[in-house]
Structures are given as structure tokens and as C-alpha cells.
Structure 1
């Protein structure tokens, strides 16, 4: 900072003001300081600045995986809003592992984020304890828990499964299947499991068997998961007419495996997914799916964070926000018309 001040011909205090609060500095002086900063390659030490201001400028986001396009959309929507208010996003991922979630949470909290965003609503007691003790805004996204830690912006994964089942039942199918992941030690896709449970619940309400509901493989799901799950379904319920996959990735794998086997989609097997991934729109036939606006979910989360951090009196936990972003069926060509 001293070298920048010497090169620009100003005091170190002026350099500090340009870095921390540029609007209070005359434009000509500010430009001279910024040119000196650029010439010297100076990068302000935000960690040191945070010690005095008690602000780090970071918001933490914890995702289950980095390979899911919907989670990438959440991060994009969140980042776009936060950038406009001079906050940066710090991202960690857990691979659906609760033990790793706790480790990553400790790492994030050690960096003193000003708010933290977690995907889903299933956390260990230790994670809940750490979050409550952090004394910063806590936001759970992509789910609608009955007992949230604080703020919630998401949708009901249970309702996703019920919606898929009702959609297929309304088209006259009576032999339905669904595919998701199994629980393997500490690895569990809670959101996908809720979709499966919602699907099963709707089948039971309609008096139909759940023989075709298959839990196969472990999260994160992929095209390969769809291939293996379809083969398992064919062994257990070979007369299945229509299938719901808890992820479009699995659903696309099912479509490709059907084509390899010479099965016609949707005539021999109707297929429905979740997530509205780009590949589902591009395959032939295009995939019928359930859509959630994940980019919008991220944007809403960002706006709430900015409001919370800008408020002089944060809301009490009992007044926490709860936002349902909703969901919608997108009809394409992998489900046979009624």
C-alpha cells in the first residue's frame, strides 16, 4: 500500500479509501490510485481488512456435487445477485456424504462467511449445532423441510414424486415403476429418496403395487445408473408400462438402453424424469420431465441474503422466510399420450 501511495502521489489513507470505499474519493484521485494499483499488481488483503471491519464479503454455498447442471444453475443465479452487492461466493461440495458435509462445513465456518447456503434439509445433529452457533443467516435450498434451521427456499421433492405418479396414472398406466439410488453407509441422496417415497405413496393411494420401484446404485446418479436400474426393473417387474426416474440423467440412460435393446419409447415403455437437463431436450425422443427453475431459485436466495445482511435488525428465527418456488411437468415425447 505504501508503494501504491508513493507511485500515485497520495497518502496511504487515500489508497485505503479507494480500496474500501471508492465513492468518497475524488474521481481524478481515484483513477490515479487505480492506475498505480494496476501498474504494481497490488491485490488488497481482504482477510486483513476483515479483521478490522468484521466483514469478509464471502457467502458460503455447500452443494452435494459439482457435476449436476441444476446445482450449477443455482450457483450462477446466486452469484449474479451477490456480485451486484459486492459479495463473493465460496463453494464446497460433499458427494452426498454426511461425514464430508460436516468436515466441509467446519472448513467454511473457519473462513467466517457472512451467510451460508446448504442444499437439502437432512443434516446431522452436529451440523445443526454448528450452524445454530454460527450466528449468521442460514438458508436451506432445494427442499421444503418441516423443521428448517432458519430460512428455506425450495420445493417439495415428495410432491415431485407424487406429481410424476399422478401424471402417469392420468394417462391410463397401471403398471408403474420408478428408479432412484440406495443408501450406502453415509452416502444418501435425500432429495431423490423423497421423490421415490412420494411416488410410492401415490401408487398405494391408488391401490397399485410398488414392485416396480427400484433403488439401485449410489448417488450421484448418472446415465450408467439408468442402464443398470432398467435391467434390474426388467428382472423384477418386466411388465412395467411407464417409468419415473428421480433424475433426468438416469432417465436418459434408460432411453439409451431401451434403444440398444430394440425397445420403442414410448410405445413399449414410457419414461419420465426430473430436472429438465439440456440432454433431455436434445435426445430422440425428447424427454418428458418435471422442471424446477433452479437459476431462479439461486437468484431468490441471493436477494434474500442481500436483504438479510443489509438489515440493521435480522429477523427472529420464528419469523424466518419460507419460499416454495414450485414445479411443473414439461410434456415431450417419451410418455405415450392418454
Structure 2
């Protein structure tokens, strides 16, 4: 039996204000004292109340879109996921409505509340690292919920992706099997990027299982970029000049490291092996194709959309669809 959803009346009662005042706060219209607005917002979060924006529209219109929340559109990974979602929805009447959280959990919560107010058919979001309020809203929404990219964590409904921790572990085992022992790491600010941290933890575990540890590690401030890789690799080499391999958080950073090697006269693979993650086209287009892990990003998006269409009502049991990944041998490690 689906949970009873809180009403505007419930919010008004908890906040100690009139229903008209709650309506004004929700719609952002009319003069409201800041103290009152904060009290109403607090009641909304505490109850998990979601206004119905679609109430005044045709009943059928509420089910014609799927809310999609992605962490970034700057990273080519997520446009590919979105392309897969469009492919999965092709030929159906459904359309995605996109929000971008910029890896901010509070912003994801805000976007989700806005999307749910329009009564979507389903919600697709990245990962399972949500605020408590976001998880409650997803759980109590009653609609299909698909969490993409990472299979770690407790699913709300359906998860489509793979284990980033295992991908990091397998990357480490691959490098060890190829004879590398003095391995360094180049990362970025992973405070919000949980999947990057899981891969790092997997890599460290693989090294530990062989009696090894990272020779050194450096982290760029902010998100990953080619420029960040170009800047960070010399810092890693300054900290550990004798490393024989550098693992990068992703292909963007690894390609930047490759460019630094070209400029500094470092023989890639002979003097220093480079290893990335994602399997981006740019990494395979450089003169020495990048050694990396290819994730099935397009398939993740496509499968998510197709599963929603095939089974529009949330099932009683949760499910994990593992899309796997592939280690690309490349020429840099």
C-alpha cells in the first residue's frame, strides 16, 4: 500500500500558519515574512510535502514526461547518458525533463522537489548518494525511480550501472599484472564525486592485496579537466620522481597528463605509464591510445529508459542491472 502523501493542510498545521500562507510560500508569490517562510520551508522538508503543479492541467499530461537529474553536462560522460535516455524513449510519447545538480546534493533535492510537483511518470537520477530528504521524496513518490551509474548503495527502486569500486580494483590488478609497482594517483576534488572516490578506494585495495601502496597522490581543486591533468602530473612527479605508472581519475585528466609528457620529453609507457577511466573518444584519438576503462554510458541511459517504458509501475522489489565495463589495453600502460 503506497504511503499517504502529506497535504498542504498538514504543512500549515505543522508550521502554525494558514493554508493560504503555505500556498504563497510554495508559489513564491505575495508578501511573506522571512521567519514565516523559513518555518513553512522547514515543515515542507520535515513532511516531504510535494505540491501538485499539474493539478490544473489535463490529467493525462502529468504522465508524459520523465524527470532526469544529472550531475553535470560539462563532462562528456553525462551527455552520452542523456543520449541513451533519448534513444530508449524513441517511439514513445514520453520526453525527458532535465535538471543539472552540478554534483550538489542540496541542489539535487531542490530540482527533485520541483520535478515531482509536476507529477512525472518516473525519475532518473545519478548515483545513490542523496540527502535524507531526497531519498524520502524518491521513496514516497510512488513513481519509477532509476538511479544510474553506480551499483553501490541501497536502491530505491531500479539501479542501472556498475561497481566503481570494483572498476578501480580491477584497474589496479591490471597494472600490477603488467609489472608496475611504483604507482601514483592524480585526482580532483572528489568531495561531491562519490564514484571517483570509490574507484580510488578500489585501486588502493588492489595495491594493498599485493603488499603495495600508492607512491604519491595529488588532487586538483575543482572538477576534472584536461588542463588539470597537465598541471597535476608534474606535481605528482615532483612528489615521487621514481613512479612507473600514474593512474588518473578519468580520461580528461589522463589526456592532460599525456600532453605534459609530450612537452617534457617523457616517453609514455617506457618512462611512465598512464591509465585513465571512462574510455572517451579523445583518449583513443591521441597518437598513443590511452589505456583505460570503458564504461557503457550510452547503454546505461538506454536501458534505464526502456525499463521504465516496459514496466511503468514501480515493482514491489528492487533490482540492480549491471552494465559492466571493459579494460582497454591501449598503448600508454
Normalised TM-score (structure 1): 0.79
- Output the CA distance in 2 between the equivalents of 1:213 and 1:205: 19
Range with bigger deviation, 253-262 or 76-85: 76-85
Determine the C-alpha separation between the residues in 2 that align with 1:107 and 1:146. Answer: 25
Query: 2:182 aligned to 170, 175, 183, which one?
Result: 175
1:206 to 197, 210, 222: 210
Looking at structure 2, the residues matched to 148 and 210 of structure 1 have their Cα atoms a distance apart, in angstroms, of 32
- Match for residue 328 of structure 2? 330
Residue 178 of structure 1: CA displacement?
1.9
Residue in 1 that maps onto 2:72: 65
CA RMSD of aligned residues (A): 1.9
User: Does the 8 Å contact 2:156/2:318 carry over to 1?
Assistant: no
**Conservation of the 8 A alpha-carbon contact between 2:81 and 2:300:** yes
Equivalent in 129, 134, 143 of residue 136 of structure 1 = 143
Q: C-alpha separation between the residues in 1 aligned to 2:245 and 2:69?
A: 35
CA shift for structure 1 position 48: 8.1
CA distance in 2, matches of 1:243, 1:50: 56
2:294 pairs, out of 282, 291, 295, with: 291
1:189 aligns with 2:193: yes
Q: Is 1:115–1:137's contact at 8 Å kept on the other side of the alignment?
A: yes
1:30-51 deviation per Cα after TM superposition (whole angstroms, max 9, x unaligned) = xxxxxxxxxxxxxxxxx68954
Secondary structure of 1:55's partner? Answer: helix
Matches of 1:235 and 1:251, distance apart in 2: 17
Q: Distance in 1 between the 2:299 and 2:170 partners?
A: 21
Does structure 1 residue 276 correspond to structure 2 residue 276? no
* CA distances 1:121-144 after superposition (whole Å, capped 9, x unpaired): 211111111111211111111000
**Conserved in 2, the CA contact under 8 Å of 1:181 and 1:189?**
no
Asked whether the 8 Å contact 2:215–2:243 carries over to 1, the reply is no
- TM (norm. structure 2) is 0.80
1:180–1:193 CA contact under 8 A, matched in 2: no
Provide the C-alpha distance between the structure 2 equivalents of 1:208 and 1:326, rounded to a whole number of angstroms. Answer: 27
- Written as runs of structure 1 = structure 2, the 5 A alignment for 1:146-157 is 146-157=153-164
What's the counterpart of residue 96 of structure 2? 89
Structure 2: give runs of 5+ residues left out of the alignment: 1-53
Give the drift of 1:301: 0.7
Structure 2: distance between partners of 1:325 and 1:212:
32
Larger radius of gyration: 1
Say which SS state the counterpart of residue 299 (structure 2) adopts: helix
- After TM superposition, the structure 1 stretch with the greater mean CA deviation from structure 2, 207-216 or 253-262, is 207-216
Deviation readout 1:250-287 (Å, 9 max, x if unpaired): 00000001111111111111101111111111112111
| Separation (CA, whole Å) in 1 of partners of 2:207 and 2:165 | 13
Q: Number of aligned pairs?
A: 281
